Amino acid sequence: MTYYSLYIKARFYPEVVERILRVTRHRGFELYALNMLSCNQLNNKQVVLFLTVVSDRAVHLLYAQINKLPDISYVEIR
C-alpha cells in the first residue's frame, strides 16, 4: 500500500467535502488523514483540504475525478 497526499482548494460548501470523500471511496482509496482550513478572501469563502489516502491504485485516478467535481478550483499531488 502506498500513501498519497493531495492538496485541494475549493469553494466552502458543506457538500464539497462529502463529494470528495465519496469519490475517494468509490475510486478504491482509503482515507488516512484529513485536515481542513477555511479562508475568507474578499467574501469568497474558500476551503483548503490536505487529504492523505492509502491504496495500491495510481493516484492519478483519484486526482482526475476530484478535479472534475464542481466547486473544486485546484488539486495538487504532493
Query: pLDDT per residue over 3-54, tens digit each?
Result: 999 999 999 888 999 999 999 999 999 999 999 998 876 567 899 999 999 9
Q: What's the burial of 10, exposed, middle or buried (CB within 10 Å: 0-12/13-18/19+)?
A: buried
The residue ranges of every structural domain in the chain are 2-77
Residue 29: CB atoms within 10 Å: 22
Query: pLDDT per residue over 46-71, tens digit each?
Result: 999 999 999 999 999 999 999 999 99
Considering the segment(s) 2-77 as one domain, its CATH architecture is: 2-Layer Sandwich (3.30)
